Structure 1
């Protein structure tokens, strides 16, 4: 206890915050008295319990329901119409096909839905539960009133008991705050303020002695989980492009047919389209510089890229995907990082094509880089292109 008090009294941000929480709770408890503080303590415990129960049940329920939802969506045979879609339809098909194909997204949506329903049901029980608590506290106050010898003594005892309960309530609130800081630091170790939090002796002691033994093994996967969430989000963005670009304009369809007319295999078609896109679409340095220097991004469609004959990597990849689909190929836009030539990597996009007539192998290609060499399924492609996990 002595070492805990010492760490609590050190003048640093985390300790000062905890001391403030304890003092406010203590004085609030003194002001409310014994019965009022007891009611607030019960409310705090009830809220914490409902959150924990809802989280556990929602997690189990999402794990159980996820494969059934996936299979149900697959059985519906949902396909994106090859026509110009309204914004609402684009959102609908992006959401439905993403829920069908992306496990982490589907789990997250089911988890949030089940958690909300469980919290709503438990919230509906609160009037009944709190009514019982009020009845118990009222009987307790009546009994103490009959036994009290002096209103002054009774009031002092009530305020003292209230202060003790308030301090206990403050300890619970402070622990929750410390747990939130622990989760924040574990999942986002390089985020804003984490250095200040880790420098706190009180945080270090709480994390090492109370939180790490319970949650440390789980939260060691925090950065991995964060990266997985970011990758899943990018996959949803890729799916958005698939939906938006499902309709193939006649002029692009005609160009793809002309480019692949002498190709008999999937690889020959993919190679012919790679050569055509790679030699006819110039890199739009003005668009790239406008984004990197001013944060201004111009979204453009494959039709615009085809017409203007210029674009950045995502524009080239989207145009290639549309032309490849028009030629009967199964293709996807891939996002990740590409080598910059100075030993580093930067955001990049390219394509993968499925060779259905050659065993279903997916091969990578980068039409944006076609002017700098042969980037049609070369050896070592993965060394210069790191796709999102």
Structure 2
């Protein structure tokens, strides 16, 4: 960081001072102040409503509940099955609009009772005093706007290779101060860190023909045991390698299922533990999506590192279930991540008590109940059983 005031610092000072100067020139008046306050409040309300709806969608609560309620109508259910993406977006924005206008109505009522009368009082007081007081108040009331402008500008600059001559934004003392004091705390806050992370297109399947060494990527006919002399790789490993277990995994599975007597309760306990203790690895998913080779795929890396992508979740579920004598499968297909269908892997576990296989998706566990969910195929499309044990 440069120790001297430079051209980029000067530009940021001008951006900061401009609203204050305009406020001084135009003087304080309650009408304009009301418009600015209410406009700012509406932007904040929209942001709050949007984040809230994202949390609701991610946690499988209000958005999913509204979708389930609407699907009770046969016409809407047919529409949802035919156009799941469009149906999700329509419900999302309906809930968003209801929440936004409800909050806006509450804020408008508070403004009329508290904020607007206060601004009218300040306006009346400044007019009775002197013109200079109106200018000073106009400048003071513009400071919050200036602060917001400078934060927005610095935030945008953080994503751009902005330069003036040989200077970059990182040479600006003001930019670095705003970055450290305002932008970094927001980026690193617990709220931002908990914002939903959508499932990425993170399952790559390669079929290698041992006869002629040819191979294909993401082949729909990559079915193990289909009579051809092939080896199938999932994110760089075979299924046998992916589901490989160890003493630590087996011990943890035994601990998780202690006291459980039936297959459903054992499988449910394993599902809940994986969903609560393994986090989605966005960096690994991005590497797979970009075609890069990934290492450490499967149950053991996911258990040791406490993170992974869908294939890793599915493999760990298999490893834990097998150690407890449960029959289990890996299923490959597609999952709907909120805006598009992407390649995905999940599980099925056999319940001898009921004589049926049920769907289990530990990757989706953070978004709601995906253990034997009756609406499972609302956001899943099964292509094949990749493996069964």
- TM-score band w.r.t. shorter chain: 0.3 to 0.5
Greater per-residue helix proportion: 1
TM-score, normalising length: structure 1: 0.39
Larger Cα-atom Rg:
1
Q: Which has the higher strand share?
A: 2
